[in-house]
Amino acid sequence: MSLSLPSQLVIAGVVLWVLSSLYQRFFAPSPLDNLPGPKSSSLLTGNLTDMFNRNAWDFHRRLIHEYGPVSVVRGLFGERMIYVFDPKALHHIVVKDQYIYEETPVFLNFNRLFFGKGLLSSLGEEHRQQRKILNPVFNINHMRHMTPLFYDTAHRLRNAISRQVTNGEQEIDMLSWLTRTALELVGQGGLGWSFDKLDSPDPNTLAEFLKAFVPTVSPLFLLMRFMPFFAQIGPAWLRRKAIESVPIDRIKKSIEISDTLNRTVREILDLKKAALASGDEAVTSRIGEGKDIISVLMKSQMEGSEEDKMSDEELMGHMNSLIFAAFETTSGALSHILHKLSEHQDVQEKLRQEITAAREGRDSIPYDELVALPYLEAVCRETLRLYSPIATLNRRTTQDIVMPLAAPVRGKDGKTFTEVPLPKGTDVAIAAWGSNINPAIWGEDAEEWKPERFIQPLREAVTEAHIPGVYSNLMTFLGGGRACIGFKFSQLEMKVVLAVLIETFKFEVPKDKDIYWNFSGVQFPSVGREDEHGQLPTIVSFAKSM
Ligand X SMILES: *[C@@H]1O[C@H](CO)[C@@H](O)[C@H](O)[C@H]1NC(C)=O
Distance CA 479, CA 85 (A): 13
Q: Which does 115 bind (CB under 5 to 8 A by kind): ligand HEM, ligand X, none?
A: ligand X
Q: Which does 218 bind (CB under 5 to 8 A by kind): ligand X, ligand HEM, none?
A: ligand X
HEC assignment per residue over 376-422: HHHHHHHHHHHCCCCCEEEEEECCCEEEEEEEEEECCCCCEEEEEEE
- C-beta closer to ligand X: residue 118 or 486: 118
- C-beta closer to ligand X: residue 13 or 37: 37
**DSSP symbols for 453-501:** GGTSPPPHHHHHT----SBTTBSTT--GGGS-TTHHHHHHHHHHHHHHH
Residues β-bridged to residue 378: none
- C-beta closer to ligand HEM: residue 187 or 215: 187
Residue nearest to ligand HEM (CB): 486
- Closest approach, Cβ 313 to ligand X, in A, equals 4
Distance CA 491, CA 367 (A): 12
- C-beta closer to ligand X: residue 33 or 313: 313
Q: 216 with 257: CB under 8 angstroms?
A: yes
Region of 478 (left: φ > 0; alpha: ψ -120 to 50; beta: rest) is: left
Letter string b/e over residues 352-375, b meaning 16 or more CB atoms within 10 A of that residue's CB: bebbbebbeeeebbebeebbebeb
- Closest approach, Cβ 244 to ligand X, in A, equals 12
- Closest approach, Cβ 113 to ligand X, in A, equals 7
Residue 380, marked binder: no
- Closest approach, Cβ 335 to ligand HEM, in A, equals 11
Q: 326 with 182: CB under 8 angstroms?
A: yes
Report 313-372 residues binding ligand HEM (CB under 6 A).
Answer: 321-322, 325-326, 329-330, 333
The verdict on 489 binding ligand HEM (CB under 6 A) reads yes
Report 361-400 residues binding ligand HEM (CB under 6 A).
Answer: 389-390, 393
Distance CA 244, CA 215 (A): 19
- C-beta closer to ligand X: residue 319 or 502: 319
Q: Which does 119 bind (CB under 5 to 8 A by kind): ligand X, ligand HEM, none?
A: ligand HEM
- C-beta closer to ligand HEM: residue 54 or 131: 131
Residues forming contacts to ligand X in the complex (CB under 6 A) are: 38, 40-42, 47, 50, 53-54, 59, 62, 115-116, 215, 218-219, 258, 262, 266, 313, 316, 518-520, 526, 529-532
Write the CB contacts of 160 (distance below 8 Å, at least 6 apart in sequence): 177, 198, 199, 201
Amino acid (1-letter code) at residue 13: G
Report 128-187 residues binding ligand HEM (CB under 6 A).
Answer: 131, 186
> How far from chain centre, in Å, is Cα 237?
28
Residue ranges at the known binding site? 484
List residues near ligand HEM by CB under 6 A.
119-120, 131, 186, 190, 321-322, 325-326, 329-330, 333, 389-390, 393, 476-478, 482, 484-486, 489-490
